[in-house]
Amino acid sequence: MNQEQHFCPKSKAWLAPKPKRIVTLAACIACRKRKSKCDGNRPACTCCLKKRTPCVFDVKPEERPSQAVIRRNEEMQVELSNLRRLWTFLQSCTEQQMLGILGRIRDQPSSMTQYQRSQDIAGFIRRRDFFAESRVEDQVEDQVEDRAE
| pLDDT number for residue 134 | 47
pTM of the model: 0.56
Of the pLDDT bands very low, low, confident and very high (cuts 50, 70, 90), residue 33 is very high
Share of residues in the chain with pLDDT > 70 (%): 75
Apex 36 CA angle, 34 and 39, nearest 5: 130
Residues 63 and 24: beta-carbon distance below 8 Å? no
Give the model's confidence band at 9: pLDDT under 50 very low, under 70 low, under 90 confident, else very high: low
SS3 8: strand
Domains defined for the chain, CATH in brackets? 23-63 (4.10.240.10), 76-149 (no CATH)
